Amino acid sequence: MSNTVTNFTQRTINYEKLLGDFKVLLKKNNLKFTIQREVILETLYNSDEHLTPELLHHLLQDKFPELKIGIATVYRTLSLLEDSAMVTSLSFGAQGKKYELGAKDHHDHLICTICGNITEFVDEEIEERQHKIADELGFTMQDHSMQIYGICKNCKQ
């Protein structure tokens, strides 16, 4: 494959950095740094899946049973993180909203309409183009999300 358009990148932000950013964000807004908020961030960081609030809640109950984290706290924290653009959500088809950490690294999604599997990719050309378009329309770009829907290799058989 000589002319690769895709560029699978690794997580570029380490957890310490991320946590630091989170703390700064909280302080700036007079919000408190709590153990619940920390483990939610950590769990999102360590998950490679796109998580629904319920799924995340289950994960948290498994990993930190002693904290008895409530579903309301999960929703509250996800909203907080989304408002601050630290996580982004995507929704498609019948399935509900799914969240992922935005800071891990920019990537877009290839979604199989049969098996629901998600492949992530990054394409610099598209990234650049998006910035140009936003600029031209007098828009200050904060984030983006892109999904390509289709049938994956496996499901074609």
Partner DNA sequence: CTTCTTTTGAGAATTATTATCGCTATTATA
Partner DNA sequence: TATAATAGCGATAATAATTCTCAAAAGAAG
And the tokens for 81?
A: 């993180």
To DNA, the closest distance from the beta carbon of 151 in angstroms equals 22
Q: Mask of contacts with DNA, 9-48, x by CB under 7 A?
A: ------------------x--xxxxxxxx-----------
Q: Mask of contacts with a copy of itself, 110-129, x by CB under 8 A?
A: x-xx-----x-x-x-xx--x
What would the DSSP string read from start to end of 87-106?
Answer: EEEEEETTEEEEEEETTS--
Which of DNA, a copy of itself, none is residue 69 near (CB under 5 to 8 Å by kind)? DNA
Using rule CB under 8 A, residue 25 touches a copy of itself: no
Which of DNA, a copy of itself, none is residue 133 near (CB under 5 to 8 Å by kind)? a copy of itself
Query: Binding a copy of itself by CB under 8 A: which of 48, 67, 79, 115?
Result: 79
Q: 41 — alpha (psi -120 to 50), left (phi > 0) or beta?
A: alpha
What are the residues whose beta carbons fall under 8 Å from the beta carbon of 47, sequence distance 6 or more? 56, 59
Using rule CB under 7 A, residue 100 touches DNA: no
Strand partners, 88: 100
Question: How many binding residues for DNA (CB under 7 A)?
Answer: 26
Strand pairing category for 118-121 and 108-112: antiparallel
Q: How far, in Å, CA of 108 to CA of 147, rounded?
A: 6
Strand partners, 35: none
Using rule CB under 8 A, residue 9 touches a copy of itself: no
Which of a copy of itself, DNA, none is residue 76 near (CB under 5 to 8 Å by kind)? DNA
What are the residues whose beta carbons fall under 8 Å from the beta carbon of 113, sequence distance 6 or more? 93, 149, 150, 151
- Pick the piece of the chain touching a copy of itself (CB under 8 A) from 9-17, 25-33, 59-67, 108-116: 108-116
Using rule CB under 7 A, residue 76 touches DNA: yes
